[in-house]
Structure 1
Amino acid sequence: MTESEQEEVYTVFNRRKILFITIATICGSLGPLAANIFLPSIEVFEDVFNTSKQAIHGTISMFMGVIAFAPLFLSLWSDNFGRRPLLISSLIVYLISNILILALPPSIIALYVFRAFQAFGASNLAVGVGVVADISEPRNRAKCISYYMIGPQLGPVLGPMLGMVGAQFSWRWNFIILAIFGAVSLLLVYFFLPETLRTIVGNGSGVSKRFVVPFQRKKKQDIEFKLPDKPERPGFMLYLKLCINRPVLLCAFSGGLAFSCFYAVTVSFSEVLTNVYHFTILHVCLAYIAPGAALIIGSILFGTLSDILRKQSGFKYGIESRFKLQICCLLPFLGTVISFGWVAQTRGHFAYLILLTFCVSFFVSGILITNTTYLSELSRNQPASYVAFGNLIRNVGAAVFVACVNPLMRSVGYGWGFTIFALTCVISLVFSMLVLMFGQRWRQALNSEDDESSSEE
């Protein structure tokens, strides 16, 4: 192999890239799945745990809070010490917490405690993005991330569907389903996913016995690869710096507001179908197929389009060219969110409601692909930490929007309620335009400051 060919090899994992992304996708879906599987069974949990609806809703808010902040710790450590040990340890915590909830008698205190551990163990979405970033070139990364994001994006859709099925048998079935998913994920990571962190294994040719999976043969590679510089030891100064990093901050808030609006639609969808249209549980489950299909189609389509935009932009916009796609998705997204509210308000035909939910899910997938890919490209050595920062904004926003859904709908109705939600997302549109126009200039200024500080040291 020539020297030029060696330089072009980004990863030696190309033949197993699909397998690794699939494993990361399954792991990344655990958090959204566990967060939403509760929704159809809230009344069942009220009776079993002898508590109020507000207390059960509190477990969901607490779960969202933990899953918003836990990735800040996990991603920081995975960017420094490796993806594989972090994934294995977090999945063990996730599995044990589900088993303990099943084994112990119903107790609201125990439910809060073990749901917190469950959320901590499932907080690996950003770590999964780190795995994808390790094995995919930046110019083709959106397509790989689009396949990865199918899992996390389907969580809010599959969760209620599985929850409705479990509610027909027992409240424990929710945790049996989650425990099965956790066990499968743990086995897949342990037996099939080697270490991918580039500061440890480079492009994969530098993998050592310590980081290979069981029964994997370590083949001698003809490719030499210089390990990137390791980031500084884990510290939350990184996140403080990101708070004043304009491209990161505007990107995180633009995606976070849109996701929060989407989450409010998802939470309200089953309630509207049940209370307004009097759907049975089976019919509600079937209705969720539409947004699920939209997320899959949208992820694959928009991931490919995002990479095309990046390649064709040249030097005018740089990696910020991906935000052209986000702007194009935001405009119809806002319109469909408003339409969803007014169709529910006026009790229009249920087919319109399902179609609008399909459209909302379709367009939000393009927004999330843009956000996640852009954040992963802003740092060569710490992509998971950057994505975790965006995940924090996204989940905090979702928790706030969900907390506002019921009071807002009771006060002004579905029509004006979702109009208000959509209007708050106009900020996303403004932020996206700012990143597109000025993001490259801001990044270059930050890089110049870093170079000057490094030279002074």
Structure 2
Amino acid sequence: MAQDLSYLGDAEKAEEIGASVQGAVFEEPAKPHSEPLQEANTTHGQQEETQVVQDEAQDLEALAAVTTGPVYSAFSNFKKKYIVVMVTWAAFISPTSANIYFPALNPLRKDLNVSTTLINLTLTSYMIFQGLAPTVFGDLADMAGRRPAYIIAFIIYMGANIGLALQNSYAALFILRCLQSTGSSGAIALGYGVVADVSTSSERGTYMGIVGAGTMMGPALGPVIGGILAQFLGWRSIFWFLVIFTGCFLVPYILTVPESGRNVVGNGSIPPQGWNMTVLEWWQHRKEEKSGELSRTEIAEGRRLAQAELAKGRKLRWPNPLKTVYIIMEKDVAMVLFYNSLIYTAFYDIMASIPSLFQEIYHFNDLQIGLCYIPFGCGCAVASFVNGRLLDRNYKKVARQIGFTIDRKRGDDLRHFPIERARLEIIWPLLYTGLACILCYGWALEKNANLAAPLILQFFIGLCVNGSFNILSTLVVDLYPQSPSTATAANNLVRCFVGAGGTGIINIMIDRMGRGWCFTFISLVCALASPMLLAELKCGMKWREERRVRMDKKKEEKKEREAARESSFSSVESAGTEEEVETPLGEEKKDEKS
């Protein structure tokens, strides 16, 4: 297809095949327009004319949308919301696992008779694998589909938690924590990939905000849950809780959540096969086979052809984590990833320092310290839901300003749309307000202020810094729509590695610099690095187009090499066939002469 309507990977061919069998819904793909479309007077004889699609009630101007071509996602609104809720649940598990562990550090150190330094190594190793694991699961999901990646990841995770609940040695604790991180950490990258599968760029902000809420609520609520469990039921109950909580997610996921990977089901209209099917889909398929409903109708045949076409381009291989590194090396993506890692580190430094600082200043026990994370959680929740709507609203605003046609059903061609502007325009008030709150937070602790002061500032830090983080995470997916899980894995890799370094030295910085100057330094570093986002805003679209042209050129060269290889192979085969035919004829002539 001539236009890239944000369709991902090999789904294009499948949708083209499906167009011949799905009726009016799957016609020729809509062609994007760089100039505003005028409202058409649609009559009975003008069914293929464009018609105006009204925006929400508060919109002052209607945007036209082309009504032909396959829809971007064939899932109903209810099913899309259900899928997003389930992946948000999954995204909540990984950060919760990392932070629910904090209240268990002292009991574990005593029970296993090891030093605080050795126990803290289990935190560092968790963050390292939290960065590495998504590079494998992200590529697996983009290659084989979302469902297999989710199921494999959470089976590993549940096994690790059972082992952690039963272990009695430091070596087992260390290894199983790494395994626990490996299983849970892929869920964040997979969640953003699923959002990219089912939502167009014009509505993606809202869904990304919901998944982001799950990601950022984990660090806020994890210590609260862990403190309650550790104090009343012992540290082993933390891991049994995680087993039960994950099981409650995995059972309905296996039963009901459909495959959304566009290289497996296209836009959702192509039935999945094998391990990509839900249990309910498999059962329904069996019933149809027995009743003879799966007849060789035109539609059924078209679907089989589409499945075969997708399977042809979906060759299973060992996941390649280097794909994540390639994404990090792209200029436009690297700017966003690095700055995102800075504000994530600032956010996590505050959270990691709360136990020691609040115990020292306010003399709190583990349970009271855990409750102090609640303002963070509230701020993160508000940011995630409000921020997503702001992103979608600003997308429409930019589209109106440049006369760009929004097509919510079929997706937009972002090659000529300034997605960087649509995302980054709203980040500045959030970012600088959040950095100012971090600075004030440090000096409130320095002056031993009333508890209300740091808790209120925590809420606004969660609101503003997490809001900035969600904006940049959404932009990362928009910049790499063909491999959203791999792009999110790159985001996760950079932020976890930078975050691991930052949290490793935060207590040293506080001891050497003091509380006030330490957090002043953190906020100044983020502020001084913010021109990186200005560079992305100014040059990002140009860099993105250069990357697209370069990638298209590589694809064409690869196709030419494959075509040349097939041509040479077929010529060798035909030459061999001719020799086989000529040999008997020659022998017959010799027999006649004799």
Name the TM tier (shorter chain).
over 0.9
Q: Find the aligned partners of 1:237 and 1:291 in 2 and give their Cα distance.
A: 35
1:303-332 deviation digits (Å, cap 9, x = unpaired): 111122222223597110201222332111
Whole-angstrom distance in 1 between the partners of 2:444 and 2:299:
61
Number of aligned residues:
456
**Distance in 2 between residues matched to 1:286 and 1:453, nearest whole Å:** 53
| In the alignment, structure 1 residue 120 sits paired with structure 2 residue 178 | no
Q: 1:452 to 1:188 in 2, by over 3 A?
A: same
User: Offset of 1:379 from its aligned partner?
Assistant: 2.4
SS of the aligned residue for 1:11 comes to: coil
- Deviation readout 1:25-47 (Å, 9 max, x if unpaired): 11112211111112222211110
1:108 maps to which residue? 170
- Tell me the residue number matched to 2:47: none
Q: Distance in 1 between matches of 2:190 and 2:341?
A: 18
Q: Hey, what does 1:256 align to over in structure 2?
A: 341
What does residue 318 of structure 1 align with? 418
Paired residues of 2:73 and 2:268 also in contact (CA < 8 A): no
The amino acid of 2:531's aligned partner reads V
2:352 match: secondary structure: helix
SS of equivalent to 1:377: helix
The Cα offsets for residues 269-289 of structure 1, whole Å up to 9 and x where unpaired, read as 233222211234454344322
**After superposition, what is the alpha-carbon deviation per residue over 1:174-195, rounded to whole angstroms, capped at 9, x for unaligned?**
2112112221222132112121
Q: Distance in 1 between matches of 2:96 and 2:206?
A: 23
* Counterparts of 2:349 and 2:124, CA distance in 1: 13
Which AA in structure 2 matches 1:78?
A
1:393 aligns with 2:494: yes
Counterparts of 1:282 and 1:118 in 2: how far apart (Å)? 24
How far the C-alpha of 1:433 sits from its partner, in A, is: 1.3
Distance 1:455 1:97, change over 3 A: closer
Q: Which residue of 2 aligns with 1:265?
A: 350
Q: Verify the 8 A CA contact 1:254 1:427 in the aligned structure 2.
A: no
Q: Where in structure 2 are the equivalents of 1:173-192 lying within 5 Å?
A: 173-192=237-256
8 Å Cα contact 1:82-1:200 kept in structure 2:
yes
1:374-385 residue pairs with structure 2 within 5 A? Answer: 374-385=475-486
C-alpha distance in 1 between matches for 2:74 and 2:355? 43
Task: Choose 338-347 or 271-280, whichever is displaced more.
Answer: 271-280
Offset from partner CA, 1:86-127 (integer Å, 9 cap, x none): 1111101100111112223x2110000111110000012101
Give the distance between the partners of 1:337 and 1:9, measured in 2 at CA: 41
Q: Partner letter of residue 278 of structure 1? A: H
Distance 1:29 1:107 in 2: 28
Q: CA RMSD in A?
A: 2.4
Q: How far is 1:59 from its partner?
A: 0.0
2:544 to 429, 438, 443: 443
CA contact (8 A) 1:337 1:422 kept: yes
Letter in 2 for 1:195: E
| 1:279 correspondence with 2:279 | no
Runs (4+) of structure 1 moved beyond 4 Å? 218-234
Relative to 1, partners in 2 of residues 1:330 and 1:249: Cα closer, same or farther, differing over 3 Å?
Answer: same
* Distance (whole Å) between structure 1 residues aligned to residue 94 and residue 225 of structure 2: 14
Residue of structure 2 equivalent to 1:328: 429
SS of the aligned residue for 1:380 comes to coil
Match of 1:148 in 2: 211
Pick from 192, 197, 201 the counterpart of residue 265 of structure 2: 201
**Could you report, residue by residue, the CA deviation over 1:176-230 in whole angstroms, capped at 9, with x for unpaired residues?**
1211222122213211212110111011110235322112446999899978895
> Using the alignment, how far apart are the partners of 2:333 and 2:246 within structure 1?
32
Residues 380, 467 of structure 2: 8 Å contact kept: no
Give the partner amino acid of 1:23.
M
Q: Is the aligned partner of 1:289 residue 2:374?
A: yes
Identify the residue that residue 535 of structure 2 maps to in structure 1: 434
Q: What TM-score do the two structures reach when normalised by structure 2? A: 0.73
Residues 435 and 465, structure 2, Cα contact 8 Å, conserved in 1: no
Could you tell me how far apart the structure 2 residues matched to 1:329 and 1:380 are? 25
Matched residue type, 1:279: F
* Pair 1:15 & 2:100 matched: no
SS at match of 2:267: coil
Cα deviation code 1:41-61 (max 9, x no counterpart): 221111011001111110000
Given the superposition, is the C-alpha separation of residues 222 and 261 from structure 1 closer, same or farther in structure 2, using an over 3 Å criterion? Answer: farther
Cα distance change on mapping 1:320 and 1:268 into 2, 3 Å: same
The one-letter amino acid paired with 2:169 is S
In the alignment, structure 1 residue 339 sits paired with structure 2 residue 404? no
Checking the alignment, whether the CA contact within 8 Å between 1:13 and 1:204 is kept in structure 2 is: no
Structure with greater proportional helix content: 1
The correspondence for 1:97, drawn from 160, 163, 166, is 160
% identity of equivalent residues: 27
Residue 410 of structure 2: aligned partner: none
- Segments of structure 1 that go 5 or more residues without pairing to the other structure are none
Partner Cα separation in structure 2 for residue 222 and residue 5 of structure 1: 19
Contact kept? 1:78, 1:384, Cα under 8 Å: yes
Name the SS of the counterpart of 1:204 in structure 2: coil
Range moving further from structure 2, 406-415 or 281-290: 281-290
Quick one: distance in 2 between partners of 1:281 and 1:274?
Answer: 8
Query: What is the Cα deviation at residue 243 of structure 1?
Result: 3.1
SS in 2 for 1:313: helix
Provide the rounded CA distance (Å) in 2 between the counterparts of 1:83 and 1:6: 25
1:214 corresponds to:
279
TM-score of the superposition, structure 1-length normalised? 0.94
| Structure 1 counterpart SS, 2:532 | helix
Q: How far has the Cα of 1:8 moved from its partner?
A: 3.3
Once residues 138 and 261 of structure 1 are traced to their aligned partners in structure 2, the CA distance between those partners, rounded to angstroms, is 28
Q: Deviations over 1:406-448 (max 9, x none)?
A: 1111111111111122222125412211111111111011222
Q: Which runs of 5+ in 2 are unaligned?
A: 1-22, 28-66, 289-293, 403-415, 561-594
